[in-house]
Structure 1
Amino acid sequence: MRALKMLLAANLLAAPIHAIAQDKPTADKPAEKADAPLVSVTRHTGTFGGVSIAYTATAKETFLKSEDGTPKAAIFSTSYVKDGNDPSRPVTFLFNGGPGSGSLWLHMGAFGPKRVAIPSDARDDGAPPYPIVANPDSLLDATDIVFIDPVGTGFSRALGKTEAKSYWGVTADAKSIAEFIRLWLTENGRWNAPKYLGGESYGTTRSAAVANELEGSYNDVSLNGILLISTILDFGLQAEVQGNEMPYVIHVPSYAAAAWYHNKVADRPAEVATFVAEARAFATGPYLAALAKGNALGGEERAGIRRQLARFTGLSEQYLDSAELRVLPGRFYKELLRDRKLTIGRLDARYTGTDYDNAGEEPDNDPSFYGIDGGYTAAMNAYVRGELGYKTERQYVTIGGVSGWDWKLGRGGRDSEVYMSVAPYLGRALRENSGLRVFVGQGWYDFATPFFGAEYSLSRTGIPANRVQFHYYDSGHMMYVRDEDRRKLSADIRAFIRGR
């Protein structure tokens, strides 16, 4: 089980490196009394995708109840619905990941009608005030949007005698979100509307699990599309356990992208995609074959692999030889720019940081997280409590609000103590719903959920390739922090929704 816990830490949406190493998990707090659900309704106008839209924003709690009607949990959501009550208009349900992250990142960074304007060029967001500006890249011209915070995140919480930890697991979490979606569809009269489901990071894991809950029984809620942004479906690919060679293979194309970006490539191609394509071919061909030989690899063959690996990673042959041709991501963040006394980001390798000293194996922290978290936290609280008029004394939990996550899957998935994959859920959904398509968005410089891992897990037997489309961005995990990529991501998803 230790390996799986390590894997969870390695895939937190935005957990800083020092938190992974040192912080204790958040304790399961006593459930709160179930009063009436809080709600705030406000009306607005904005221009999105070049279209003027009048819409209603509803920030509210939805109670999940037991069979006797007793409230068990309050799910906080923010819904943006175009005025006019069109029951056939598409609706998209979005959440972030963690597990344990609120939806503020997609909400205030990518698709909400307002966004926080932090630096686009991989610089630290500094100190407040942070501009909260109109977001013409919101998808409200193409779809209504519902941002969801699972129990333990945002303002969502357990109620009464219910323990919050009863919702903290792949399957339990998915069941609660599926229940929320069914309640929202009923309350808003949208059962026959086109429906899209999407998430970022662990939110892509959640998307597959929720799709399984919605479509995996006879009482189906069929989906038109699933949006996977910075994808992690097959956790075994990144399980850092001795003898598993796949983490090294999966990361080589990401190493190549980072080396290309930071000018550590001698014969640097003009485009990162070109270099990445070469790295993919090397990783799945000569490199994988070499690692499979284990101790039998030697002589000129080993030297040849070492030379090629040095070219793609930007690391020295001496270092690679000492590492037995196997470099874990934590070491890479520290080693790539050690000669410049800089580290690179885990969520976004474009970011660089300066550690206390230049020794050591891994960075002190992740500059691509501490470079954005202050702005997003301030903006979400200011916007929801201010413009949307949601009044509560509760703290908004951005990330880290859960502990003891249960990784066991329900039927149709694949799990064990060191291997968990929800990719089979997507395969089944695609095979049994001919109208379902999957959108995959990946940043070249994302190490939390490397793009080659998404490509690998979604190219397995049983997943119809013709209904899975990939899109790539010149940034990292939260590709929308880069202005050009936010616009591209918005245009790509808008086209995906309208292309049904």
Structure 2
Amino acid sequence: MMMRALFMALVMAVATPAFADPDTAKADDEKTETRPVPDPVMFESKHSGVFGGQKIAYHVEAGETYIANEEGDPAASLFTLSYIRDNAGADRPVTFVFNGGPGSASVWLNLGLLGPKRVEVASDADADDGAAPYSLVDNEQSMLNVTDLVFIDPVGTGYSRVVGDGENADYWNEDGDASSIAEFIRIWITKHKRWNAPKYLAGESFGTTRAAYLANELTTGDVDIALNGIVLISQALDYEGSTSVDDNVYSYITYLPSMAAAAQYHGKAGQGIAQADFLGEARAFARDEYGPALLKGDRLSPDERAHIRDRLAYFTGLDPVYIERSSLRILMPRFQKELLRDKGLALGRLDGRYAGDEADDIAETPEDDAASYFVSSAYSALMNQYLSTDLGVEMDRPYMVSSSEAGSQWDFDDKAEGESWEPHYVNVGRQLTTAMRHNTALKVMVASGYYDLICPFFDAEITFGRYGIPQDRVALTYYQGGHMMYLNDGARDALSTDIRTFYSGKLKDARPD
């Protein structure tokens, strides 16, 4: 779900032949042929439910909004789901929601946490979703009693696509993504007369990256749209802290407390110690001892090396011999495979509570992510069923829950036109800072799961202590789950309560001292 790699392309010039092959010329013509622009579709339906203890009558607008190019012609179609309380006044809050990837539709936050319906999966991560039939239940914790909800599927996800002269490449990058979603928000609040309503963003994973640069776009772009708040679930603002690869010294530090949390959960470390105390020890060790030791590298004395090795074994539950052979550097994919190797199980990456039984028990890393395939079939099936039955949506193309094409072809090159570019980790921390300092009413909630092995909670703490982000307007919160912490019933209850508290302006930061 999280796209991690930054690519550098080697472009080769090819001479054009004097006489082009007719078939080649025909193919080139087809590539540049303008796509048809059919009329946008919109499906409307009425519903009611009990949310946050209140009975709410609401209607749903499920359909397309066209985004124009510089020439004013439709170039992209964004398919969105708007849940709008009946007789909502002009000052009723509205929240614009998206997931991540890049390449993921908004199904996860819709049917997992915020929307009026919820997919039911095993809360304790002890069973996969199997095969149909699955259960779609009423979500009494939906935020519809607090805010209208608009779920956005970016280009290439859900039913959203390019039209006319639009190209995917126009939108599969930061500028195109930000400008298209910002334009949609402008169109939506104009159509629904909500310019003076409180406005929020909610994103998960890469959706938090998107939320940061979108907030900056809304604040500094041609049309100034001030936000009241942003909910960041499993934040990914600085990819250096959430990219576990060789030689990224910083990531060994940020991931260590998450390894400790997973090891304790599976009974491999920290037994008999309260979680808060054990993770407090892990944070302190990572920051005060492990980091400096990594910077010393091979110049550690034998005694220093042995001390670090034994402490790593204490926190991770891994064999000291394995840690020694790893040069005191444990990549997260290796940890996933090694922790429960004696049981023939590999930990999930999105959520370390999950453990999958893989065929290759001697492989270095997992073949797939159990935390993903344990739940994805249910979400895919029920999203399609919900659209067609409850919402009456009829489309002639598949609903793309996750687009591998969008993920693999996303352009992370953020240079301005005409400037040179050297590959670096994605980092939108300063963009969030700009948005918050231009708009002193903007507040941010950051939700992290202890067992998230891709966007570690310790990285959130470090990231939000840097980049000049106003500390008095940020609240960090923690949950007994992973990347999608709302899969766990208790975590979902706590998260829903905290979001409501955040909207009321009373949520407090929960970072340890």
Do these two structures clear the TM 0.5 threshold for a shared fold by scoring above it? yes
Number of aligned positions between the proteins = 474
> Deviations for 1:217-266, whole angstroms, at most 9, x for unmatched residues?
36310000011001101012244555431111111000000001001015
Structure 2 portions without partners, runs of 5+ = 8-30, 507-513
Equivalent of 1:482, from 477, 488, 491?
A: 488
> Deviations for 1:389-436, whole angstroms, at most 9, x for unmatched residues?
11102101111241321113378xxx8412220011111111221100
* Stretch of structure 1 that moved more, 333-342 or 236-245: 236-245
State the partner residue of 2:312. Answer: 309
* Contact residue 7 and residue 240 of structure 1 kept, 8 A: no
State the partner residue of 1:79. Answer: 82
Equivalent of 2:69, from 58, 66, 69?
A: 66
After superposition, the Cα gap between the structure-2 partners of 1:7 and 1:259, relative to the gap in structure 1 and judged at 3 Å, is farther
Q: Determine the C-alpha separation between the residues in 1 that align with 2:325 and 2:492.
A: 40
* Contact residue 174 and residue 206 of structure 1 kept, 8 A: yes
Secondary structure (helix, strand or coil) at the match of 1:140 reads helix
After superposition, the Cα gap between the structure-2 partners of 1:188 and 1:29, relative to the gap in structure 1 and judged at 3 Å, is farther
Equivalent of 1:237, from 231, 235, 241?
A: 241
* Contact residue 171 and residue 408 of structure 1 kept, 8 A: no
Q: Determine the C-alpha separation between the residues in 2 that align with 1:484 and 1:241.
A: 33
Q: Runs (4+) of structure 1 moved beyond 6 Å?
A: 28-31
State the partner residue of 1:364. Answer: 367
Query: Which residue identity does 1:44 align to in structure 2?
Result: H
**Over aligned residues, Cα RMSD in angstroms?**
1.8
After superposition, the Cα gap between the structure-2 partners of 1:436 and 1:136, relative to the gap in structure 1 and judged at 3 Å, is same
Equivalent of 1:443, from 435, 443, 449?
A: 449
> Deviations for 1:260-316, whole angstroms, at most 9, x for unmatched residues?
10010154413x232111111100110001011011112111111111111011111
Determine what percentage of the aligned residue pairs are the same residue. Answer: 48
State the partner residue of 1:25. Answer: none
Equivalent of 1:130, from 127, 134, 140?
A: 134
Alpha-carbon deviation of 1:463? 0.8
State the partner residue of 2:194. Answer: 190
Secondary structure (helix, strand or coil) at the match of 1:420 reads coil
State the partner residue of 2:5. Answer: 6
2:413 pairs with 1:408: yes
2:500 pairs with 1:497: no
State the partner residue of 2:510. Answer: none
Q: Determine the C-alpha separation between the residues in 1 that align with 2:467 and 2:166.
A: 40
* Stretch of structure 1 that moved more, 200-209 or 357-366: 357-366
State the partner residue of 2:322. Answer: 319
Q: Determine the C-alpha separation between the residues in 1 that align with 2:149 and 2:385.
A: 20
Q: Determine the C-alpha separation between the residues in 2 that align with 1:153 and 1:309.
A: 41
Query: Which residue identity does 2:412 align to in structure 1?
Result: W
Q: State TM-score, norm by structure 1.
A: 0.92
Describe how 1:68-467 pairs up with structure 2 within 5 A. Answer: 68-122=71-125, 123-217=127-221, 219-240=223-244, 242-265=246-269, 267-270=271-274, 272-399=275-402, 400-402=404-406, 403-409=408-414, 416-467=422-473
After superposition, the Cα gap between the structure-2 partners of 1:209 and 1:30, relative to the gap in structure 1 and judged at 3 Å, is farther
Query: Which residue identity does 1:6 align to in structure 2?
Result: A
Secondary structure (helix, strand or coil) at the match of 1:431 reads helix
After superposition, the Cα gap between the structure-2 partners of 1:343 and 1:239, relative to the gap in structure 1 and judged at 3 Å, is closer
* Stretch of structure 1 that moved more, 104-113 or 61-70: 61-70
Q: Determine the C-alpha separation between the residues in 2 that align with 1:32 and 1:238.
A: 39
Secondary structure (helix, strand or coil) at the match of 1:284 reads helix
* Contact residue 204 and residue 231 of structure 1 kept, 8 A: yes
Query: Which residue identity does 1:37 align to in structure 2?
Result: P
**Greater C-alpha Rg:** 2
* Contact residue 243 and residue 454 of structure 2 kept, 8 A: no
After superposition, the Cα gap between the structure-2 partners of 1:313 and 1:7, relative to the gap in structure 1 and judged at 3 Å, is farther
Structure 1 portions without partners, runs of 5+ = 9-27
* Contact residue 245 and residue 331 of structure 2 kept, 8 A: no
After superposition, the Cα gap between the structure-2 partners of 1:116 and 1:276, relative to the gap in structure 1 and judged at 3 Å, is same
Alpha-carbon deviation of 1:154? 0.4
After superposition, the Cα gap between the structure-2 partners of 1:418 and 1:143, relative to the gap in structure 1 and judged at 3 Å, is same
Query: Which residue identity does 1:302 align to in structure 2?
Result: R
Secondary structure (helix, strand or coil) at the match of 1:226 reads strand
Query: Which residue identity does 2:441 align to in structure 1?
Result: G
* Stretch of structure 1 that moved more, 170-179 or 211-220: 211-220
Query: Which residue identity does 1:216 align to in structure 2?
Result: T
Q: State TM-score, norm by structure 2.
A: 0.89
Q: Determine the C-alpha separation between the residues in 2 that align with 1:255 and 1:29.
A: 50
> Deviations for 1:412-465, whole angstroms, at most 9, x for unmatched residues?
xxx841222001111111122110000000110011211111111111041111
Q: Determine the C-alpha separation between the residues in 1 that align with 2:198 and 2:397.
A: 34
After superposition, the Cα gap between the structure-2 partners of 1:281 and 1:364, relative to the gap in structure 1 and judged at 3 Å, is same
Q: Determine the C-alpha separation between the residues in 2 that align with 1:58 and 1:50.
A: 24
Q: Determine the C-alpha separation between the residues in 1 that align with 2:193 and 2:467.
A: 38
* Contact residue 441 and residue 472 of structure 1 kept, 8 A: yes
Secondary structure (helix, strand or coil) at the match of 1:487 reads helix
Query: Which residue identity does 1:121 align to in structure 2?
Result: D
After superposition, the Cα gap between the structure-2 partners of 1:33 and 1:268, relative to the gap in structure 1 and judged at 3 Å, is farther
Q: Which has the higher contact order (CA 8 A, sep 6+)?
A: 1
Query: Which residue identity does 1:465 align to in structure 2?
Result: Q
